[in-house]
Amino acid sequence: MMAANLFQVLQTLLVLLLAPLFAGYLQNARALLQNRRPAGILQPYRDLLRLFHKESIIAEGTSWLFRATPYLLFAAMWLAAGIVPILATALPLAPAADVIALVGLFALARVFQVLAAMDTGTAFGTLGARREMLVAAMAEPALLAALFTASLLSHSTSLSSIVDHLESLRFALHPSMVFAAAAFFMVLLAENARIPVDNPATHLELTMIHEAMILEYSGRHLALVEWAAQIKLLLYVGIGIALFLPWGIAPAGDLAALPAAAFWLALKLLAAGAVLAVIETLLAKLRLFRAPEFMATAFLLGVIGLLSYFMLGA
């Protein structure tokens, strides 16, 4: 039990500390592919430190919701970090939630962020909030379809049980998981404001979605929002690794497997960051009204994955 609790603490702290590093690696890889000089892999840490030392300016007329949302976002992502099996399975917090609760946790964070964006009463905040809900309306069903495909294969909605089952199958070929993986990857891009759905580096009113919702934040509030977004990206990558590349994740309490689990995690994150950087370099941002078509394709792939399981049993 002590070893399992140690794994829980290590994983939670690892996600918090590793999220800015992964974001910095992704930014640097993208800059190098675009023939730009990168700012450095540690730049997100410097940005967060600078923002924490700045004063937070609150817009007039905002309610408690605007001030509380950054803390709620960060807390929700931190709680999710204790549920997703990134380093080890069967963690103490894992039985408290399954894939449905995990999706609900992400949805709860989104609802608060959208309400806080509209709370300011600015045109940009409302614009970004409506666009965010437009994308989320199709992203969440597609995500659930992908997760349910893995749940049906393992006969459980617990992420730890799913990972244990899929890892025992090793390199068994499941057509349903191929469609689920494609759907999940498209949802990952949409939910984390990545190209082709959104561009995290833009501040143009005709294109931005996520950035439009956080324009009124500053200081420590903006730091918490940015940090929560980085944790969310790492968690989505971690969920993808756990579902589709579960090999190398240590069983809870097995301290001897921790170095190998950390090595495989680092290797998978390096590969995932490289793939995301290539995607964002090769693809262009879609027009806003093409985003629902993109998410509808993800949902269709998720449904095909479910149908493949029911028809083929694999």
Q: How many structural domains compose the chain?
A: 1
User: What is the DSSP code string of 164-189?
Assistant: HHHHHHTT---HHHHHHHHHHHHHHH
| pLDDT at residue 74 in the model | 95
DSSP label of 287: P
What are the pLDDT digits (tens) for 237-274?
999 998 898 888 887 667 778 888 889 999 999 999 99
* C-alpha closest to that of 149 among 311, 269, 268: 311
| pLDDT at residue 166 in the model | 83
* C-alpha closest to that of 106 among 239, 232, 240: 232
| pLDDT at residue 90 in the model | 75
Handedness of CA 25, 30, 35, 37 (dihedral sign): negative
| Weakest-pLDDT range from 100-114, 192-206, 253-267 | 192-206
**Three-state DSSP state, 88:** strand
What are the pLDDT digits (tens) for 142-155?
999 999 999 998 88
Bridge-partner residues for 14, per DSSP? Answer: none
- Average pLDDT of the residues of the chain: 88
User: Any idea which residue has 């993800």 for tokens?
Assistant: 298
User: Residue 112's domain spans which residues?
Assistant: 2-312
| pLDDT at residue 170 in the model | 64
| pLDDT at residue 253 in the model | 65
| pTM greater than the 0.75 cutoff | yes
Q: Which residues contact 214 (CB under 8 A, 6 or more apart)?
A: 117, 222, 225, 226
Q: Which pLDDT band, with edges at 50, 70 and 90, does 66 fall under? A: very high
**Three-state DSSP state, 273:** helix
| pLDDT at residue 147 in the model | 92
Tell me the percentage of the chain whose pLDDT exceeds 70.
96
Q: Is the pLDDT of residue 77 over 80?
A: yes
Higher pLDDT: 212 or 220? It is 220
Six-digit token string for 273: 């960051």
Helices (H), the chain: 2-33, 43-52, 64-81, 99-119, 123-154, 159-169, 175-191, 210-213, 219-244, 258-282, 291-312
Residues 241, 257: Cα–Cα separation, whole Å: 17
Q: Is the pLDDT of residue 290 over 70?
A: yes
Residue 170: is it exposed, middle or buried by C-beta count within 10 angstroms (0-12/13-18/19+)?
Answer: exposed
Task: Give the max Cα distance, the chain.
Answer: 58
Residue 24: is it exposed, middle or buried by C-beta count within 10 angstroms (0-12/13-18/19+)?
Answer: buried
What are the pLDDT digits (tens) for 154-178?
888 888 888 888 887 766 678 899 9
Q: What is the mean pLDDT of residues 173-186?
A: 90
Residues 96, 185: Cα–Cα separation, whole Å: 26
Handedness of CA 32, 38, 43, 44 (dihedral sign): negative
